[in-house]
Amino acid sequence: MEVLVTDCIGVPADAIVSVRFGPTRRQAPLAAVCANSLKFPSHPEAICEPLKIEVLQPIASARLVLHPNKDAYRISFLGNSDLAMSLTVKSLKDLKDGVGIKTEQVGDRESRLAAMLPQKSFQDAASSARDYLEGHGLLKYVQALLHAIIQTRPKDPKDDR
């Protein structure tokens, strides 16, 4: 089943439209639901179920750049010093492996130590650097950080307040 907003009157431009059909909920900004339909899994006999439609309006927002080895965060919202939130973020891999339990094999430690030793050639150095960056998730982290800066365009991007 697909739901497309074809017209809206009096709905703020920054509103979020939330539609629930059975156990499935889809949410998107108003402009997105006017341009693209929300898709729901359905069977022909399920069409008789009612839709729940809500119009939500953001009261604050923040961008959070995730760190590869960090799972607890504290967020302050721009423009409203009274609002704050704490989050715990876990990857699906952590949940499958036993909720964030980290174990280090002897071979893993040896390979990390070997990666810290001076390299014999440029190719070895480049390979070691790539392994280090990928192993610590630094490439994705820096990309996410740059993306957040480009999206928010702060006056002083180096100011971390």
User: What's the Cα-to-Cα distance from 148 to each of 51, 64, 66, rounded to whole Å?
Assistant: 34, 8, 11
Supply φ then ψ for residue 69, to 5 degrees: -115, 30
Residue 160 has pLDDT above 70, yes or no: no
Q: What is the DSSP string of 54-72?
A: EEE--S-----PPPTT--E
Q: Indicate the helix (H) or strand (E) that contains 2.
A: strand 2-3
Residue with more model confidence, 22 or 103:
22
Name residues whose C-beta falls within 8 Å of residue 77's C-beta, 6 or more positions apart in sequence: 60, 61, 62, 83, 84, 85
Q: Mean pLDDT over all residues of the chain?
A: 79
Q: Give me the percent of the chain exceeding a pLDDT of 70.
A: 76
User: Which of 18-22, 52-56, 63-67, 128-132 has the highest mean predicted lDDT (pLDDT)?
Assistant: 52-56
Tell me the pLDDT band of 101, cut-offs 50, 70 and 90. very low
pLDDT of residue 66: 87
Q: What are the residue boundaries of the structural domains of the chain, listed by start?
A: 2-56, 61-101, 104-161
Tell me the pLDDT band of 97, cut-offs 50, 70 and 90. low
pLDDT of residue 36: 93
Residue with more model confidence, 25 or 50:
25
90, two tokens: 């876990």
